[in-house]
Amino acid sequence: MKSRLSILVIAACLWMILFSGLVSAATFESTISRAMSTLKASKGDPTLLVMTDAPYVKVDGACALPWLDQAQEKTGCTVGKGNLLFFQRAQNHPFRLMIFKKNNGGAVIINRVNDTWATDTLNIGPAAISQPAFWDNTGDFQAGKDLFTPWPRWPMYGPRTALTTF
pLDDT at residue 93, as a whole number: 85
Distances 160 to 18, 43, 100, 148, 156 between C-alpha atoms, Å: 46, 36, 24, 10, 10
For the entire predicted model, the pTM comes to 0.72
Show the 3-state SS of the chain: CHHHHHHHHHHHHHHHHHHHHHHHHHHHHHHHHHHHHHCCCCCCCCCEEEEECCCCCEECCEECHHHHHHHHHHHCCCCCCCCEEECCCCCCCCCEEEEEECCCCEEEEEEEECCEEEEEEEECCHHHHCCHHHHHCHHHCCCCCCCEEECCCCHHHCCCEEECCC
Amino acid type, 39: L
Domains in the chain, number: 1
- CATH number assigned to the domain comprising residue 33: 3.30.1330.20
pLDDT, one tens digit per residue, over 41-79 is 999 999 999 999 999 999 888 999 999 999 999 999 999
Amino acid type, 126: P
Domain extent for 43? 2-163
Give me the percent of the chain exceeding a pLDDT of 70.
Answer: 69
pLDDT, one tens digit per residue, over 93-126 is 889 999 999 999 999 999 888 888 989 898 988 8
pLDDT over 60 (residue 26): no
Cα gap 60→145, rounded to integer Å: 19
